[in-house]
């Protein structure tokens, strides 16, 4: 008899419908409202929970075939993570103080967070979604039963590390108010134009050097005025370092996650991205929240339940960087 630890990697990464229990009633309420917005009458329909579950499971299966991200496996694509971030509420204040501020969601996946911003009053013509894979954005339309006409947020596909898609060294255009997001096909025209940048579940996909490079690239997109903000959430730790993820990923390169601590994260932004010498001052807030993730681990043979439960703990770091 073999233990789960000896099972083929392909078995360990199969979808598990029991993880549907991760979806809360608040998540379902958001989903129902997001779907209703795309209806001509704008009203929520009385749809049975089981019908919704069948639809979500079908969407999950299609998305997982595109790429086996763990956030898809655990149904994180239903929850509007942005709503639980302090940085988002600071971003919403920009709607009161700026003319046509742009909010960009980098690594938008299905677009659940950008939909929440639209629901909260951010004009769709000033919202931008960006992801490496267009398939996820298209699947998001299927998930929320929308079309580019009923949800006309601009989406651009590309790799933020690719200079052909985003050249941080390009000169910034002076006209901010006149930006037409529908006319762009890369991030380069938006250098120093974006008022608020959201990015969640993205940084922890990269090693330490890549995380610094990503932070620097995002900073060059930000409009350098007081109040502009970059915010999000991703995996963190009490002490920065490598976390070994369980069960092992199919790709061995994905088994290890580099995690910053709140202290090292603040240092990264204040000393390596923005600095006093640049004449840009920032406020950086970062906090850890411990969550139990049953999708992460499993008990090894002869392993205590306490040890197995400890392996299932995950630190989520919620943070924002705001120009002051």
Q: Which stretch, 46-60, 147-161, 173-187, 294-308, has highest mean pLDDT?
A: 147-161
Comparing 310 with 138, the larger pLDDT belongs to 138
The band of 8, judged by pLDDT with boundaries at 50, 70 and 90, is very low
Residue 222 DSSP symbol: B
User: Once rounded to an integer, what is the mean pLDDT over residues 99-107?
Assistant: 98
Q: How far is CA 213 from CA 106, 187, 210, 234, 321, in A?
A: 14, 16, 5, 16, 16
- Name the burial class of residue 78, with classes exposed (0-12), middle (13-18) and buried (19+) by CB atoms within 10 angstroms of its CB: buried
The band of 308, judged by pLDDT with boundaries at 50, 70 and 90, is very low
Q: So what's the pLDDT on residue 1? A: 32
Count CB neighbours of 31 within 10 A: 22
Tokens encoding 110: 């299905």
pLDDT in tens, 207-229: 999 999 999 999 999 999 999 99
Spatial CA neighbour of 52 closest among 71, 75, 28: 28
Q: With 50 as the cut, is the pLDDT of residue 314 above it?
A: yes
Q: So what's the pLDDT on residue 130? A: 99
The band of 245, judged by pLDDT with boundaries at 50, 70 and 90, is low
Q: How far is CA 60 from CA 29, 52, 119, 143, 157, in A?
A: 18, 12, 23, 9, 21
The band of 35, judged by pLDDT with boundaries at 50, 70 and 90, is very high
pTM for this one?
Answer: 0.89
Could you tell me the fold of the domain covering 81-323?
Answer: Rossmann fold (3.40.50)
Domain locations along the chain: 81-323
Tokens encoding 179: 């930006």
pLDDT in tens, 279-302: 899 999 999 999 877 666 533 334
Q: So what's the pLDDT on residue 247? A: 55
DSSP code per residue over 139-180: HHHHHHT--TTTS--EEEE--TT-TTT--TTSPPPS-STT--
Q: So what's the pLDDT on residue 38? A: 75
């Amino acid at each position: 008899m073999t233990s789960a630890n000896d099972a083929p990697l392909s078995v360990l990464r199969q979808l598990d419908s029991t993880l549907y229990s991760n979806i809360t009633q608040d998540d379902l309420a958001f989903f129902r409202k997001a779907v209703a917005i795309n209806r001509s009458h704008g009203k929520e329909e009385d749809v049975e929970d089981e019908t919704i579950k069948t639809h979500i499971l079908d969407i999950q299966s299609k998305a997982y075939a595109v790429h086996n991200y763990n956030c898809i496996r655990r149904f994180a694509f239903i929850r509007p993570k942005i709503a639980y971030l302090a940085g988002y509420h600071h971003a919403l204040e920009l709607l009161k103080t700026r003319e046509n501020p742009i909010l960009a969601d980098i690594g938008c996946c299905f677009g659940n967070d950008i939909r929440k911003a639209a629901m909260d009053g951010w004009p769709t013509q000033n919202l931008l979604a960006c992801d490496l894979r267009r398939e996820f954005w298209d699947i998001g339309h299927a998930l929320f039963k929308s079309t580019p006409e009923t949800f006309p947020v601009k989406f651009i596909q590309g790799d933020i590390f690719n200079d052909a898609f985003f050249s941080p060294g390009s000169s910034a255009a002076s006209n901010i108010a006149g930006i037409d997001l529908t006319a762009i096909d890369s991030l380069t025209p938006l250098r120093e134009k974006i008022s608020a940048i959201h990015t969640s579940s993205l940084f922890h996909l990269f090693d330490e050097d890549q995380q610094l490079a990503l932070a620097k690239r995002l900073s060059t997109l930000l409009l350098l005025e007081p109040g502009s903000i970059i915010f999000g959430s991703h995996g963190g730790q009490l002490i920065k370092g490598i976390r070994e993820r369980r069960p092992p990923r199919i790709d061995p390169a994905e088994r290890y996650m580099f995690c910053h601590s709140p202290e090292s994260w603040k240092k990264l932004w204040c000393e390596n991205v923005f600095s006093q010498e640049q004449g840009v001052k920032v406020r950086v807030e970062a906090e850890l929240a411990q969550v139990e993730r049953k999708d992460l681990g499993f008990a090894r043979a002869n392993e205590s339940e306490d040890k197995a439960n400890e392996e299932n703990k995950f630190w989520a770091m919620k943070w924002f960087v705001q120009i002051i």
